[in-house]
């Protein structure tokens, strides 16, 4: 099986040419992009390693998850999404 799926550089989002796919920088288009991404990792910009490059949506959800975590433990007592919680029902009716 050939790797003919279109890939883009996770850093600069440029399409990666097929000959680049076999480069040592993959999945990045260049050493520079690889190093930039490495910098992001070190910064903690990304927290979940993936074999595939992350789509923008993936990155967004990771960042959001990260932010929610940083809000702290207090959020655990938020039952507004629980249908069994009378307070939540009251909220919906009003
Ligand atoms: Zn690139």
CATH assignment at residue 52: 3.30.50
* Ligand 1: centre distance to CA 42 (Å): 18
Range of the domain at 53: 7-72
CA distance 7 to 10: 9
Q: Please tell me the distance between residue 23's alpha carbon and the centre of ligand 1 in angstroms.
A: 12
For residue 65, the CA-to-ligand 1 centroid distance in Å is 26
Q: What is the pTM of this model?
A: 0.36
Task: Indicate whether 78 belongs to any domain.
Answer: no
Distance between CA atoms of residues 55 and 62, nearest Å: 11
Distance 68 CA to ligand 1 centre (A): 30
What domain count does the chain have? 1
Q: Could you give the residue ranges of the DSSP H alpha helices within the chain?
A: 18-21, 31-43, 56-71, 86-93
> What is the CA(12)–ligand 1 centre distance, in A?
4
Q: Is residue 33 part of a domain?
A: yes
Specify if 12 maps to a domain: yes
Of 13, 43, 6, nearest to 28 (Cα)?
13
Would you state the structure tokens that stand for residue 80, as one six-digit string? 């507004």
pLDDT tens sequence across 25-80: 888 888 888 888 888 777 776 555 555 666 777 778 877 877 777 666 555 555 56
């Amino acid at each position: 099986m050939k790797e003919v799926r279109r890939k883009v550089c996770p850093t600069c989002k440029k399409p990666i040419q097929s000959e680049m796919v076999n480069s040592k920088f993959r999945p990045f288009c260049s050493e520079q992009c690889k190093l930039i991404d490495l910098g992001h990792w070190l910064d903690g910009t990304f927290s979940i390693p993936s074999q595939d490059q992350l789509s923008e949506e993936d990155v967004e959800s990771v960042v959001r998850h990260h932010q929610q975590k940083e809000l702290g433990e207090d959020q655990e007592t938020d039952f507004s999404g629980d249908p069994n919680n009378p307070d939540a029902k009251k909220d919906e009716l009003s």
